[in-house]
A and B are shown apart, each in its own frame.
Chain A
Amino acid sequence: MGLPPYATLGQRIWYYSFRVICGLIFFFLVAPIVVVMPLSFNAQDFFTFTPEMLRLDPEGYSLKHYRDFFTNPQWQLALKNSLIIAPLATIISVTLGTLAAIGLSQSHVPFKGAIMAILISPMIVPLIISATGMFFFYAQLGNWMEGTLGLDKGFVGYVKVILAHAVLGIPFVIITVTATLVGFDRSLTRAAANMGAGPVTTFFRVQMPLILPGVISGGLFAFITSFDEVVVVLFVGSASQKTLPWQMFIGLREQISPTILAVATILVVISIALLTTVELLRRRSERLRGMSPG
């Protein structure tokens, strides 16, 4: 949509000012995230650029906030918890979610609308409401597990948070995997069955490789949901299950420490890596299914 050579002066002015406006909005979108990164190398405990930093003086920069993150037991506990909870929650939601998505993609499913509504509901209901409901119910569930089953208190705490996070990730798995299954050619499974493969072999050798990109990106969504989730953890978990977002939230609300910016930078790098992975998977999936890459 270039500018035609016969454009009037007014059109030219509008054309360029529109680009400037869009540039400013993009700046608004990206600037806060970009600003965090250099600040995390601040040698001072400030949340702003020091004169040394502006002069690009190496004295003004240091890795001390990163060092703090990797040595402070509070942050290490939070990191450890995040790395325990998010993968386990993801495994649960991906396993159950993929099976259900395959079931839902069959042609004759009774009550499909209602089932879909229930499965998607954790995404629809605002987190604060899910957290409130879970707060009431999971406390009783925890008491029951500790009292009747005699399980360890810390273990029960993890189970509660993992279950809560798994259910929050399920809608994302359902949505991405059903979307992938829409383009799945059913005659492939029939052909496999025709050649003597049982349903299990067909699933693992024919269907799974083709829908794998959808499953992985659904899993990544579920992972990021759990990894980034703080409201439910605050309500359902206790201090020994605190995750990275919890520690950041406490840090932002109470004692402000620039270590948060170091953590934020690490998380931004991780999210860039995840974004790239999902994008590559989407393209691969579309190529595999013979769609034009979009």
Chain B
Amino acid sequence: MAEVMQAADGTPLKRSLARALRRQKMRALALIAPLLLFVLITFIVPIASMLFRSVENDIVANTLPYTVEALADWDATGTDLPPAPVYEAMFYDMFLASEAKRHTRLGTRLNYETTGMSSLFRQSGRNMDDIADLSYEPLEDLDDAWDDGETWYALFNTRGVSDTTLLDDQRKRVARLSGAAADAEINFAPDAEVSALLPLAAREYTAWAVFVATQNNRDPAERDPWESVAPALVTDLQRADLSGYVGPAADMLRAAQQANLPVPDFTQEFGAMDEDWASLEPWQTIQTHSGTYTSGYFLNAIDAQKTPDGVAWQPEEKQILLTLFGRTIWMSLLITFSCIALGYPIAWLLANLPMRQANVLLILVLLPFWTSLLVRTSAWKVMLQQQGVINDVLVWIGLVADDGRLIMINNQFGTIVAMTHILLPFMILPMYSVMQTIPPSYLRAAKSLGATNWTAFWRVYFPQSVPGIGAGSILVFILSIGYYITPEIVGGTKGVFISNRIAFHISSSLNWGLAAALGTILLAAVLVLYWAYDKIVGIDNVKLG
């Protein structure tokens, strides 16, 4: 029976070793952890937030919650307008949204899908008060007390049993609408009895109270509610049974019910406000894009659109983004090929010269590599301009007439020349490191066996240098499809890439969802290429300088 090996302190050696190994692992992880955490927070989370932005679409449901709910059953592919409850829900949603000044944001969002939505929403927001006044004024004529905020407050505020569900729902509604927390303390709670009796009016009054208390920091007891409570009250009174009600304003309510005040015909009022509301299109747009997550931005990114009938493509001449994707790939390929053509002879020369000379020439490659990107881009602007150095030289030699100066900037030519120059070191360095490992004796052997110079090069040397070309090409291609600065400065309108479009949507058109979707597509392309690079070369072989 073999004895169990023991460490100095008497524990079995196996366990002692395992513990040492575990401790070593822990120490390694403890060293890595701070950086890992740092990169996760400052880099990975932002990238994830971009991915999320590209599908996020809660703005429709947040701004128009009741409309989205009411629209759910409507058949968007049919020819009938949505039923009356949809228009009613739209009124209350739009009223609150326009008070919170959030309706224009939704209009902008929906305008990406259907042009005209932005102005429709902006105008409608202004007209909501007029519709509410249709009920508010008769109510006020009936009894001046309705014009007084205290009447409303006394009517809806709790008298013991409060409706906490309603209050929480309205807090959520306001928070989702305004994008800010709505859980501050409120000097109001809806009374359960009244909210059962007058559900719509209680809902709208509570929404108002939550809004003024949490967003404007006002006491609802001292303010007059918005006019939207009037149509809600009138609507409730049509079916409310007031016989058992003895609370505040009971007589005023009975009088209002007796008077049988008119409820605004929301369908008609919306149609009169803007005839678009009497057409199918805005409703189809709202319903199609009412989901919390959407593929809409991705479809837009490839020049398609979500419609009630499925995916529709933009007409050929309007397919800007597909053209841009195509151009990005095509120009990146051109840049990669010019880099191969210019880089191969240099790499060959460097690999075959004696070390001392090669090191001197290598500095000429490394100098541009180390020079600021903006310096090189401005240098190309200086070189390529119509009044620039190249044109001056050509005119001076007499190759080009002074009035026939070449246009070499603000077009594809400018982008290709400048980017070839900027990316050339990334092609030369990997090629050079591969070519250094090819023994020159192979070429001599081939020649001594009777091969011509060309055959020896093409059949013996070139195949061995292919890994270098592959590594350099993938690197240059990946770098060039994501380039922004150089195309922006020397590319004009014809020589820009998809990245310039992303920047445009971030800073000018503010269509962030589309920018995120374009970025996600580009990221996916780059990751696939890197995966290929890893398979061919290995990420670990990335070398600097």
Of B48, B372, B389, B453, the contact of A264 (CB 8 Å cutoff): B372
The interface residues of chain A lying within 8 Å CB-to-CB of B478 are 126
Contact with B along A162-188 (1 / 0, CB 8 A): 011011001010011001000000000
Of A108, A136, A176, A253, the contact of B49 (CB 8 Å cutoff): A136
The reply to whether A121 and B43 form a contact with Cβ atoms under 8 Å apart is yes
How far does the alpha carbon of A102 sit from the alpha carbon of B45 in the complex, in Å? 25
How far does the alpha carbon of A149 sit from the alpha carbon of B160 in the complex, in Å? 39
The reply to whether A130 and B47 form a contact with Cβ atoms under 8 Å apart is yes
Partner-contacting stretch, out of A60-68, A69-77, A190-198, A274-282? A274-282
The reply to whether B382 and A39 form a contact with Cβ atoms under 8 Å apart is yes
B92 at the interface (CB under 8 A from A): no
Which chain A residues numbered 213 to 241 have a C-beta less than 8 Å away from chain B?
217, 221, 224, 227-228, 230-231, 234-235
A150 at the interface (CB under 8 A from B): no
Given contacts A167-B39, A264-B372, A264-B378, whether A132 and B387 have CB atoms under 8 Å apart is no
The reply to whether A228 and B374 form a contact with Cβ atoms under 8 Å apart is yes
Nearest A residue to B480 via CB reads A126
Which chain B residues numbered 512 to 545 have a C-beta less than 8 Å away from chain A?
512, 515-516, 519, 522-523, 526-527, 530, 539, 542-545
The interface residues of chain A lying within 8 Å CB-to-CB of B545 are 217, 278-279, 282
How far does the alpha carbon of A138 sit from the alpha carbon of B43 in the complex, in Å? 10
How far does the alpha carbon of A35 sit from the alpha carbon of B527 in the complex, in Å? 38
The reply to whether B35 and A26 form a contact with Cβ atoms under 8 Å apart is no
The reply to whether B47 and A245 form a contact with Cβ atoms under 8 Å apart is no
Partner-contacting stretch, out of B81-89, B129-137, B200-208, B481-489? B481-489
A156 at the interface (CB under 8 A from B): no
B21 at the interface (CB under 8 A from A): yes
Given contacts A128-B499, A252-B489, whether A230 and B349 have CB atoms under 8 Å apart is no
The interface residues of chain A lying within 8 Å CB-to-CB of B361 are 26
Of B28, B43, B49, B544, the contact of A109 (CB 8 Å cutoff): B28
The reply to whether B32 and A22 form a contact with Cβ atoms under 8 Å apart is no
Nearest B residue to A294 via CB reads B355
How far does the alpha carbon of A267 sit from the alpha carbon of B46 in the complex, in Å? 31
Query: How many chain-A residues does the 8 Å CB contact rule pick out?
Result: 93
The reply to whether B421 and A133 form a contact with Cβ atoms under 8 Å apart is no
The reply to whether A126 and B526 form a contact with Cβ atoms under 8 Å apart is yes
Interface size class of B (residues with CB under 8 A): 35 or more
B31 at the interface (CB under 8 A from A): yes
Given contacts A170-B35, A268-B375, whether A36 and B43 have CB atoms under 8 Å apart is no
Which chain A residues numbered 52 to 93 have a C-beta less than 8 Å away from chain B?
92
B61 at the interface (CB under 8 A from A): no
How far does the alpha carbon of A272 sit from the alpha carbon of B363 in the complex, in Å? 10
A137 at the interface (CB under 8 A from B): yes
Contact with B along A204-220 (1 / 0, CB 8 A): 00000000000001000
The reply to whether A272 and B542 form a contact with Cβ atoms under 8 Å apart is no
Contact with A along B30-64 (1 / 0, CB 8 A): 11101110111011111111100100000000000
The reply to whether B481 and A249 form a contact with Cβ atoms under 8 Å apart is no
The interface residues of chain B lying within 8 Å CB-to-CB of A35 are 379, 382-383, 389
The interface residues of chain A lying within 8 Å CB-to-CB of B522 are 126, 128-129
The reply to whether B364 and A26 form a contact with Cβ atoms under 8 Å apart is yes
Query: Distance in Å from the Cβ of B120 to the closest Cβ of chain A?
Result: 28
The interface residues of chain A lying within 8 Å CB-to-CB of B363 are 275
How far does the alpha carbon of A42 sit from the alpha carbon of B349 in the complex, in Å? 37
Of A99, A128, A260, the contact of B519 (CB 8 Å cutoff): A128
The reply to whether A235 and B506 form a contact with Cβ atoms under 8 Å apart is yes
Nearest B residue to A108 via CB reads B25
The interface residues of chain B lying within 8 Å CB-to-CB of A46 are 387
Nearest B residue to A100 via CB reads B35
The interface residues of chain A lying within 8 Å CB-to-CB of B379 are 32-33, 35-36, 264
Of B43, B375, B502, the contact of A33 (CB 8 Å cutoff): B375
A145 at the interface (CB under 8 A from B): no
The interface residues of chain B lying within 8 Å CB-to-CB of A102 are 31
How far does the alpha carbon of A175 sit from the alpha carbon of B363 in the complex, in Å? 21
The reply to whether B39 and A138 form a contact with Cβ atoms under 8 Å apart is no
Known: A129-B50, A170-B39, A231-B503. 13 other contacts (CB 8 A): A11-B453, A21-B345, A33-B375, A33-B379, A36-B379, A47-B382, A48-B387, A103-B27, A107-B24, A109-B32, A132-B515, A231-B485, A267-B372
A-B contact pairs, 20 of them (CB 8 A): A32-B382, A36-B382, A47-B387, A48-B382, A96-B34, A99-B35, A102-B31, A103-B27, A103-B30, A109-B25, A126-B483, A126-B522, A133-B48, A136-B50, A137-B46, A170-B35, A230-B373, A231-B485, A235-B503, A275-B363
B residues contacting A by CB (< 8 A) are 21, 24-25, 27-32, 34-36, 38-40, 42-50, 53, 342, 345-346, 349, 352-353, 355, 361, 363-368, 370-383, 385, 387-389, 392, 421, 424-425, 440, 453, 478-479, 481-485, 488-489, 499, 502-503, 506-507, 512, 515-516, 519, 522-523, 526-527, 530, 539, 542-545
A-B interface, 5 closest residue pairs, ranked by CB to CB distance from nearest:
A126-B482, A103-B31, A32-B379, A137-B46, A133-B46
